[in-house]
């Protein structure tokens, strides 16, 4: 596999000087937009295959597919000199996707992304990058991703402290085998060629013992479990938090807790086979009231 040119640019980008020492948060107003190009049937099939989504006769898209298009805009924003963080080393902390109408491969509109608020965190500084697809004044889909730039000099004892919270009663749904080449397969389907996902060798260069599965693959795989509901109720919000790295290869368990109400809510998680580690926790809500993280 050849090295993607943007990875080389990303490797050269550094954090802004005095980023963590300044009392002021970064001031960065960046945005980009462009018409959504015609979606490739072959590319859609490749993405759907790697995330476990069954292709349909009406070419219904996986809700995370548009993230592969928005991701190219995210990289463009992050490579801008005004963006204060180095790309390699950023931690993807959470992602929210909202879909308002059924989306098929024939969807059109203007796709836009922008850098939003910066927040000081115990471990560093985070920012939100948002994206949305709009067609003739109507928002069809949007997402919010939270990215953390870690301050290596932060007080680790304070940074890792988390208040205990009650957990729902999860029921086991599926077990997944995550093969060693999963990171490379998802990279080819998504365009995310971060070296920590591609091989054990490249991951070790960044301090990981083995290659790490993409967090967005884990989220997409969870959503694929609910394909029938998502096609029947296309308006929904799905929020996830990325927890411990999912090292490859691995076996993991997917479990969920479902509640029936006027606003059907499903809480779910992905854990290691022995339940020692939680890789992802999320919530899927139908008939949602739009929210913004």
Domains belonging to the chain, first-starting first, are 5-286 (3.10.129.10)
Q: Which of 175, 176, 184 shows the shortest CA–CA distance to 46? A: 184
User: Which residues, at least 6 apart from 24, have a Cβ–Cβ distance to it below 8 Å?
Assistant: none
Q: Residue 272: which H helix or E strand, with range?
A: strand 265-272
CA 57 to chain CA centroid, nearest Å: 27
Tell me what the mean pLDDT of segment 112-122 comes to.
Answer: 95
- Span 54-99, pLDDT tens digits: 988 888 999 999 999 999 999 999 999 999 999 888 999 999 999 9
Percent of the chain past pLDDT 90, that is, above it, reads 71
Q: Can you give the pLDDT at residue 21?
A: 85
Residue 202 confidence (pLDDT) above 70: yes
- Span 16-56, pLDDT tens digits: 877 888 888 998 899 999 999 899 999 999 999 999 999 88
Work out the pLDDT band at 120, boundaries 50, 70, 90. very high
- Global pTM reads 0.90
Q: Which of 194, 202, 210 shows the shortest CA–CA distance to 10? A: 194
* Rounded CA separation 269/257 (Å): 9
């Amino acid at each position: 596999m050849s090295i993607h040119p943007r990875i080389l640019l990303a490797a050269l980008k550094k954090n802004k000087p005095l980023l963590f020492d300044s009392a002021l948060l970064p001031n960065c107003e960046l945005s980009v937009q462009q018409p959504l190009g015609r979606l490739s049937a072959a590319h859609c099939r490749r993405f759907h295959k790697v995330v476990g989504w069954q292709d349909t006769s009406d070419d219904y898209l996986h809700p995370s597919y548009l993230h592969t298009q928005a991701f190219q805009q995210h990289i463009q924003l992050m490579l801008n000199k005004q963006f204060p963080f180095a790309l390699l080393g950023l931690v993807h902390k959470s992602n929210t996707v909202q879909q308002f109408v059924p989306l098929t491969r024939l969807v059109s509109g203007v796709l836009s992304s922008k850098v939003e608020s910066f927040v000081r965190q115990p471990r560093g500084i985070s920012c939100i990058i948002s994206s949305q697809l709009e067609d003739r004044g109507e928002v069809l889909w949007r997402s919010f991703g939270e990215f953390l730039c870690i301050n290596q000099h932060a007080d680790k004892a304070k940074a890792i402290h988390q208040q205990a919270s009650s957990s729902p009663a999860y029921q086991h749904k599926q077990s997944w085998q995550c093969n060693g080449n999963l990171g490379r397969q998802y990279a080819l389907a998504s365009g995310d060629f971060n070296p920590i996902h591609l091989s054990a060798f490249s991951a070790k260069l960044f301090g990981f013992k083995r290659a790490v599965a993409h967090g967005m693959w884990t989220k997409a795989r969870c959503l694929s479990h609910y394909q029938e509901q998502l096609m029947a109720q296309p308006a929904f919000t799905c929020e996830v938090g990325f927890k411990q790295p999912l090292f490859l290869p691995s076996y993991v368990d997917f479990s969920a807790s479902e509640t029936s109400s006027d606003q059907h809510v499903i809480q779910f998680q992905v854990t290691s086979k022995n339940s020692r580690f939680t890789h992802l926790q999320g919530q899927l809500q139908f008939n949602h009231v739009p929210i913004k993280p």
